[in-house]
Structure 1
Amino acid sequence: MAKWWGPAGFQTPKESIDIDLRVGGRFNLCMVQINTGTEIWIQHEIIELVEPRLLVLRSEEQTDLRLSAMITRVQFDELDGKTKMTLYNGPYSKEMNHAISGWEQSFDKLGKLFK
């Protein structure tokens, strides 16, 4: 995750990643903006887990960052011998419209690791 999590211009220090992979566990990490050093902590509770097919996370509202409470649902399905990942993250407020491009940039980084 340290190699791909976060949009362009951010890194995720390995030591900031703390995942307790169980229902009721935590999924926490810190994205650091490379140019400024600004830290953005991502903190979720794992509310559903069906290994290896489904992970559902819930975050609390973070008023200091203007982040609303959100649900993140990641589902993995086999499709023609490959893995299809379906992601839902939201709902987004108007201030959160950048989150979609952030996910896309993160997945671009992930894709490059498999080329």
Structure 2
Amino acid sequence: MTEAAATQELVITRIFDAPRELVFRAFTDPDQLAQWFGPVGFSVPRETVDIDARTGGHQRFVMVSEQDPNMKAPVAARFTEVVENELIVGVEDWENVPGQTESSGMSLRVEFHDEGGKTRLVLRQGPYVDEMVGMARAGWESSFTKLDTLLTA
């Protein structure tokens, strides 16, 4: 049995009721990322977060299941382009993602657009195998609900 090829790109557009500077900072500030990243049922311990938010920099952290703390998902990304308050582009390495080989990486592009004091975020990530796209979308949407709460606090 061969593993399916990863061919699907996930695209999510969402409006946040906060200026793009605050939304961008939530992605690049280790303290804030630890507060919102990961779907409901997962957390990111602050001590696992290391971010160097610049072109050529990196982002590393570990998502941990709240139900089973032994279930961990390390994430490491290399930033290929960072434009403050506008754009984050990189390649992510996730462990145990179906369709992804150790060296293949997954592209991530996050755009931050001003919408009259709000932020329109456009996220592109992939490639995914078909059966993983829905799970990834649900994970991001759940994380973004947590981000909404952080931004309105």
Task: Give the TM-score taking structure 1 as reference length.
Answer: 0.89
Q: How many residues in Structure 1 have an aligned counterpart in Structure 2?
A: 114
Any unmatched runs of 5+ in structure 1? none
* 1:30-52, Cα deviation, whole Å (9 max, x unpaired): 00001111110111100111112
Any unmatched runs of 5+ in structure 2? 1-32
CA distance, structure 2, for counterparts of residue 61 and residue 27 of structure 1? 12
User: Helix, strand or coil for the counterpart of 2:128?
Assistant: coil
Contact 1:33-1:39 within 8 A present in 2 as well = yes
Matched, 1:104 2:136: no
Contact 1:45-1:59 within 8 A present in 2 as well = yes
CA distance, structure 1, for counterparts of residue 118 and residue 139 of structure 2? 24
Contact 1:61-1:67 within 8 A present in 2 as well = no
Percent identity reads: 38
Higher relative contact order (CA 8 A, sep 6+): 2
Contact 1:22-1:46 within 8 A present in 2 as well = yes
Contact 1:28-1:42 within 8 A present in 2 as well = yes
Q: How does 1:1-115 map to 2 (within 5 A)?
A: 1-37=33-69, 38-60=71-93, 62=95, 64-66=96-98, 68=100, 69-97=105-133, 98-113=135-150, 114=152
Q: C-alpha displacement at 1:60, in angstroms?
A: 3.6
CA distance, structure 1, for counterparts of residue 45 and residue 80 of structure 2? 25
User: Helix, strand or coil for the counterpart of 2:35?
Assistant: coil
Q: C-alpha displacement at 1:100, in angstroms?
A: 0.8
CA distance, structure 1, for counterparts of residue 55 and residue 117 of structure 2? 29
Q: Which runs of at least 4 in structure 1 moved beyond 4 Å after TM superposition?
A: none
CA distance, structure 1, for counterparts of residue 99 and residue 50 of structure 2? 20
CA distance, structure 2, for counterparts of residue 32 and residue 67 of structure 1? 22
Greater percentage in helix: 2
Amino acid at match of 1:47: T
Task: Give the TM-score taking structure 2 as reference length.
Answer: 0.68
Q: Based on CA coordinates, which of the two structures has the bigger radius of gyration?
A: 2
User: Helix, strand or coil for the counterpart of 1:87?
Assistant: strand
